[in-house]
A and B are shown apart, each in its own frame.
Chain A
């Protein structure tokens, strides 16, 4: 473990935490353009955070310590997840600490804490949101794991840097049919897990349709800021997982120097810009599904990922 690796490890986390609100702002801006609305500032999420951190926290009288601790736990899990995803470089000392399965586990930890916190107050929407979130979660989590499994089988490793290296070192561009299935499944999981249309609407405030929003209704000020930040970070993490699995080009290899790292950051920004725009297009052209249709949507993602697995195994033998 050299100094540069340590710097890029810490820098990667700081970069993710710092860029996550920007990505959220970019997606919101693209959506507004596509829907011919006047777009909010790209920096709006940062201002929201500053505003929320400054306010006094209004805490429900019956809130337990769990309710106050949950935002920190959620943020902690998401930031740790950011540390093990090779977004800029594959030289991540921490990636050996936790592999992609642990990554799914970290997402599950965040989900569990936010759902438990939502049930803590005992208000009407909290437990409803928790139930819906866990429903989405229990279908999306195995689907994500199966998407990752496709990559594991290809490169014989659950460590994300190894997967990236495997794709980068391959001679020429080989198309893997299984990755096509996995790719579609991954996008579906990304939409569901990040409270995006067609499963949830990040802009909604209509009680009966919301999932993520209804869980955080009772939060305010710094707690809300942490939760919102964590959810942006989650979108960022998902985008970076997508890059490592499907478009790893531009990620700096182990041997890269400081200049290579800078170049990799530029690559990352470019990919994020494209991904955010694509996400905005998907959100604009699709309609929100009824909540009862969400399981169908996600089981389709799960089955697609499993199908990808089967295709890989069939072609291999």
Chain B
């Protein structure tokens, strides 16, 4: 142990930086023989996965050995503005998240990327590793300058990754929308940092921590941060890029964006609201909570009606981000009333859910990648029955599906359990009305979690179960071994966190200690959690798993022993109807129909129904986002109109432009003198 702590105090930060630099090096090496798939995919990507493991390991080291922050100054940057870096518990936790999920994604990507799919593999390798490294740097940054540089690198590298298949117009459009939203968000962040330095013009986070802001300016900074990070994370109504960009990108990239990049936005929100602004008045928390809950419900409802498997997962990401921000808002709210323990509980729920979501959502996105490679189909209407052709992918995806649905004893359940426990304690908030409204948030969380189950049955049932909806699916093949290893790694993470929840909460304790100065109660064993008090609530993942497994095993043995195991294979009974075609199954549209029916006002539905005497009847239904037509298109029209108005200035004559320059100079001189 002594050796480890020596490592922490001297070299953990250096080691992380070296690992990040080697990610960049790997990326550059990809260019050496950029078209040799054996070199790029089979050698460099596994190396990147190893480095990711190292990053995760160092994250654990920084979380377990004291919570002292390490800082350093890099010899890069502008002459009088060097890059500051810092490794504390919060960044350590997100490095753990980044590394553990990133390792699985990289191993999978090693088997996934192949030639002839848009960008050359070597270039892809560069973009991929720059993306990983920039996310790590965002987490490590200790001044606004490095933070913004890394943030923009992250946005740009992911933009190039999204547009891997840049010849398809749809993907170009999705990429452009993503870039636009990324920059609108980045502008808000720039303004936010502009407020945060509090007039000192020092851009290090240390000086921002020390700066005293008036309540109005602090609120402005908080709102700008919520807008900026919300645009990156996909909070409603800034979510529109997410369901476009995630499906457009290759699956490992979708997994990285959804699993990792959205969490980096969560990191930024935590860093600014808790660390730099020291949390604020209670309405900050209330606002974040309300936005989070709205986003969660919105995402779940929209996920239920999607017909494209990756769009479905993208909306489900919006839902999960909503839950994370709701927990974060609850933490802010409780902290404002100085209820430290409750704030720690909510924050732990947020962080654990972020980690869980990174694992199971990456797993599912990668599984869709395998399905996509095997079938060349993304539409749920043309899939089905793949559990028989792709047993490995189907089994591993089942773990992700059950985790996402929040079922015990997997990891998704643990974080939702923590969140509900946090809501349970909210009636003790010492503020009238708040203590009545906030507990009702539990109802929204419960509804969202239950809807997630619906969505997941649809996702898994339509893709992997039933009969194949297209004859070509009979040729589908299972994923290669590298892909399986990647999927298995993530599935293992889902199971381990579910069964040993206290181990994950131990990692989080460092973060809550650093940010809030307190931690939740430690459970008696790694598999037994009791965050507030044993008498109030406890959950034991391992025993629950063993209990269920024990009952199942006993029942199996009893049935086989007392009776028999005889099986006769027969055609499906189907209530006696002999003809059974794949078209008789529920389609994805059909499965979403009840939700469309119930939540009608959420959607903008365009429907074409044939008349009764149509010879070739065609049904068409398109479900759109109301925000798109109600908010974004009018906004785009206003921008277009303003641009038209400004084009009055563009006369196309040199003399007029010279006149503009002259007038500008005069005005500036008046100012200066």
A residues contacting B by CB (< 8 A) are 13, 53-54, 56-62, 64, 66, 72-73, 75-77, 79-80, 83, 94, 96-99, 101-102, 105-106, 108-109, 111-112, 115-116, 119-125, 127-128, 130-132, 134-135, 137-139, 141-142, 145-146, 149, 152-153, 156-159, 162, 207, 217-218, 222, 226, 292, 295, 302, 306, 309-310, 313-314, 316-317
Distance to closest chain B CB from A234 (angstroms): 14
7 contacts across the A-B interface (CB closer than 8 A): A66-B387, A76-B555, A97-B543, A98-B539, A108-B450, A116-B460, A158-B424
B window 570-594: CB within 8 A of A: 570-575, 577, 580, 582, 584-586, 590-591, 593-594
Known: A80-B544, A119-B457. Contact between A218 and B435, CB under 8 A? no
Q: Mark B538-579, 1 if CB is under 8 A from A, else 0.
A: 111001100111011001100100111011111111110100
A226 to B432, CA, bound (A): 51
Partner of B424, one of A72, A79, A153: A153
Ordered nearest first, which 5 A-B pairs have the shortest CB separation?
A122-B466, A122-B467, A142-B446, A119-B461, A127-B586
List residues of chain A with CB within 8 A of the CB of B100.
none
Distance to closest chain B CB from A299 (angstroms): 8
Partner of B537, one of A76, A145, A157: A157
Q: Mark B448-461, 1 if CB is under 8 A from A, else 0.
A: 01110110111011
Q: Say whether A138 contacts B580, CB under 8 Å.
A: no
State the total of A-B contacts with C-beta under 8 angstroms.
Answer: 252
Which of B130-138, B356-364, B398-406 contacts the other chain? B398-406
Q: Say whether A141 contacts B570, CB under 8 Å.
A: no
Q: In this assembly, does B68 line the interface, its C-beta being within 8 Å of a C-beta of chain A?
A: no
Q: Say whether A158 contacts B421, CB under 8 Å.
A: yes
Q: Say whether A138 contacts B387, CB under 8 Å.
A: no
Q: Say whether A159 contacts B405, CB under 8 Å.
A: no
Q: Say whether A122 contacts B453, CB under 8 Å.
A: no
Q: In this assembly, does B420 line the interface, its C-beta being within 8 Å of a C-beta of chain A?
A: yes
Which of B35-43, B80-88, B436-444 contacts the other chain? B436-444
List residues of chain B with CB within 8 A of the CB of A226.
555, 559
Partner of A105, one of B413, B461, B538, B564: B413
Q: Mark B389-425, 1 if CB is under 8 A from A, else 0.
A: 0000000001000100111100001000100110010
Q: Say whether B536 contacts A138, CB under 8 Å.
A: no
Q: Say whether B598 contacts A153, CB under 8 Å.
A: no
Q: Say whether B450 contacts A306, CB under 8 Å.
A: no
Q: Mark B331-355, 1 if CB is under 8 A from A, else 0.
A: 0000000000000000000000000
Q: Say whether B453 contacts A137, CB under 8 Å.
A: yes
Q: In this assembly, does B534 line the interface, its C-beta being within 8 Å of a C-beta of chain A?
A: yes
Q: Which residue of A lies closest to B407 (CB)?
A: A109
List residues of chain B with CB within 8 A of the CB of A61.
569-572
Known: A108-B453, A125-B574, A135-B594. Contact between A102 and B544, CB under 8 A? yes
B contact residues, range: 35 or more
Known: A79-B551, A105-B408, A112-B405. Contact between A123 and B584, CB under 8 A? yes
Known: A108-B453, A121-B572. Contact between A127 and B461, CB under 8 A? yes
List residues of chain B with CB within 8 A of the CB of A102.
408, 413, 417, 539, 544
Q: In this assembly, does B30 line the interface, its C-beta being within 8 Å of a C-beta of chain A?
A: no
Q: Say whether A142 contacts B534, CB under 8 Å.
A: no
List residues of chain A with CB within 8 A of the CB of B563.
53-54, 222
Partner of B575, one of A54, A66, A135, A207: A207
List residues of chain A with CB within 8 A of the CB of B595.
135
List residues of chain B with CB within 8 A of the CB of A310.
436, 440
Known: A122-B585, A153-B424. Contact between A130 and B387, CB under 8 A? no
Q: Which residue of B lies closest to A155 (CB)?
A: B536
List residues of chain B with CB within 8 A of the CB of A115.
457, 461
Q: In this assembly, does B114 line the interface, its C-beta being within 8 Å of a C-beta of chain A?
A: no
A112 to B597, CA, bound (A): 22
Q: Say whether A108 contacts B568, CB under 8 Å.
A: no
Distance to closest chain B CB from A99 (angstroms): 5
Partner of A62, one of B436, B449, B572: B572
Q: Say whether B567 contacts A142, CB under 8 Å.
A: no
